[in-house]
Amino acid sequence: MNLDRFSSSFDQNRDRIVSQWMELLAFPSISTEPAHHRDCLACAEWLVRHLHSIGFDNARLLQTPGKPVVFAERPGRPGKPVVLFYGHYDVQPVDPVSEWRTPPFTPTLLDGRMRARGAQDNKGQHFYALKALETLIRDDRLQATVKIIIEGEEECGSHGISATMTEWRERLQADLLLITDIAMDGPRTPTITMGLRGLIHLTAELSGPLRDLHSGAHGGVAPNPALELPRLLATLHARDGVIAVPGFYDGVQPISPEEKVLALSMPFDPELYRRQTGVPPTGGERGRPVAERLGLRPCIDVNGIHAGFDGPGVKTIIPAKARAKLTARLAAGQDPALCLAALEAHLRQHAPEGLTLTIVEKGVGGPGFRLSPQSEWIARAAATLRGMYNTEPTRRWEGASIPVIAGLARVSGAEPLLVGFGLEEDSIHAPNESFALEQFRNGYLYVASLLAGL
Ligand SMILES: [Zn+2]
């Protein structure tokens, strides 16, 4: 049985694997901090050398306008699928550094957990895949063609890879886009992510008064940006929570009967949600189950509103301007550029008389996507996970966005498969990030078993 072989292979090589993983974690490859640019390059170069050592003879760096991308390719047997594996070598900043119990770039294996920045996100979750590939290559059990792309700017917007990936179209062609940069619902709940939402953002400002006006001298006469902005924002939704922006829903992929059944079967406890967040799950489009509202439908949110006086006491003014920051999460099928244009047009159409609406900034994070529940890759992943956990994996639609994934899927022509082994307890992006060696081992077993079957 495959799993037993891979398990014993991991256990025999455990010490070596752990020490290599620690070498990778020791690079402070914080992409957003210019002071760490060289550390990012050193980390990328280490990965290139490492890929050479495990059988990817042509591993190299591809240049982008930002950080270089690590790329490698190993041809498989003719007629076998082409797998593109994605990961990122950059990590989040570490402040507040005083809250770390062990230094973030001195990897420490303690009580079965690797403690370091990047231990899970994403060095842990891509290194187990590289180790699985190493095993398959060594045992001559890798028949698929495997391409590897590990970028260095995921934590700060993936700008380099996004700007360059269309030039690499030929090189990136694949059948399966394998992604492990994702969590599971619980330690015994293997989870297949069936889709991600897209993202757009916009900052709107209402202005008009030349300066803050005296509310005694002008109240009831001058239009007030701080009063009018919320009124404008309220036109974005109808009373039943449905988005009222004309054209915004264009292209939204309909929910298939099979998806409806899956969505209704997703476990959701409103009381637990209320305890965890402080609010009941009553936002969004009324009458739709939570799973639909979260992953299958779009939403528009106000992230912040700023206007006027907020100090102690009283200040009698009509503020000169008011500003709101908005984001929208997009469902599969929506065109982000069209959604952004529709949102802007709606705001302009409803802008109050006497004030000026300015779109201060706007942008597209990327489109959303959704996989067919009948996907062959999902069936294979589900079978692999059933073998490991003796239970049916949960399917869920992720409400968040990983814009680079949708872009890579489009450019490579590959179908994304999102299964990872992260857990809430890993504290990614926070002080004391860690990753259980057990979860690292599970990730290794999953990738090795999945790819051995291709
Ligand atoms: Zn991250």
Each domain of the chain, given as residue ranges in start order, spans: 2-196+369-452, 198-252+298-366
Beta strand extents in 279-411 (DSSP E only):
299-307, 317-318, 321-330, 356-366, 369-370, 394-397
Measured in angstroms, how far is the CA atom of residue 92 from the centroid of ligand 1?
A: 7
391 to each of 180, 352, 442, 447, 453, how far by Cα in Å?
Answer: 20, 56, 15, 18, 20
- Name the amino acid, one letter, at 27: F
Measured in angstroms, how far is the CA atom of residue 155 from the centroid of ligand 1?
A: 5
pLDDT digits (tens, 9 = 90+) for 66-85: 999 999 999 999 999 999 99
Q: Is pLDDT above 80 for 50?
A: yes
Measured in angstroms, how far is the CA atom of residue 321 from the centroid of ligand 1?
A: 35
Measured in angstroms, how far is the CA atom of residue 243 from the centroid of ligand 1?
A: 30
pLDDT digits (tens, 9 = 90+) for 120-175: 999 999 999 999 999 999 999 999 999 999 999 999 989 999 999 999 999 999 99
- Percent of the chain residues past pLDDT 90, beyond the cut: 94
pLDDT for residue 55? 97
What separation, in Å, do the N-terminal and C-terminal C-alpha atoms of the chain show? Answer: 16
95-106 mean pLDDT:
97
Q: Domain 2-196+369-452 classified CATH 3.40.630.10?
A: yes
**35 Cα distance to chain centroid:** 25
Measured in angstroms, how far is the CA atom of residue 33 from the centroid of ligand 1?
A: 15
390-414 mean pLDDT:
92
- Percent of the chain residues past pLDDT 70, beyond the cut: 100
Measured in angstroms, how far is the CA atom of residue 310 from the centroid of ligand 1?
A: 34
298-323 mean pLDDT:
97
Of 60-64, 201-205, 358-362, 373-377, give the lowest mean pLDDT range. Answer: 373-377
Question: Which letter, b or e, does each residue of 316-346 get, where b requires 16 or more Cβ atoms within 10 Å of its Cβ?
Answer: ebbbbbbbbbbebbbbbbbebeebbebbbeb
Q: Is pLDDT above 80 for 1?
A: no
Measured in angstroms, how far is the CA atom of residue 402 from the centroid of ligand 1?
A: 10
* CB-based contacts of 11, cutoff 8 Å, min separation 6: none
**198-252+298-366 has which CATH code?**
3.30.70.360
- Residue 69, H or E segment: strand 69-74
pLDDT-based confidence at 401, cuts 50/70/90? confident
Q: Is pLDDT above 70 for 29?
A: yes
Q: Is pLDDT above 70 for 224?
A: yes
Measured in angstroms, how far is the CA atom of residue 154 from the centroid of ligand 1?
A: 7
Phi, psi at 162, each rounded to 5°: -65, -35
pLDDT for residue 378? 96
pLDDT-based confidence at 245, cuts 50/70/90? very high
291-314 mean pLDDT:
95
pLDDT for residue 262? 87
Measured in angstroms, how far is the CA atom of residue 182 from the centroid of ligand 1?
A: 9
Measured in angstroms, how far is the CA atom of residue 417 from the centroid of ligand 1?
A: 18
Measured in angstroms, how far is the CA atom of residue 425 from the centroid of ligand 1?
A: 14
Please calculate the CA angle 351-355-206 and round it to the nearest 5 degrees: 75
Closest C-alpha to 93, from 160, 29, 181, 23: 29
pTM of full prediction above 0.75:
yes
Measured in angstroms, how far is the CA atom of residue 156 from the centroid of ligand 1?
A: 9
Q: Is pLDDT above 90 for 400?
A: no
Radius of gyration of the chain (CA): 24
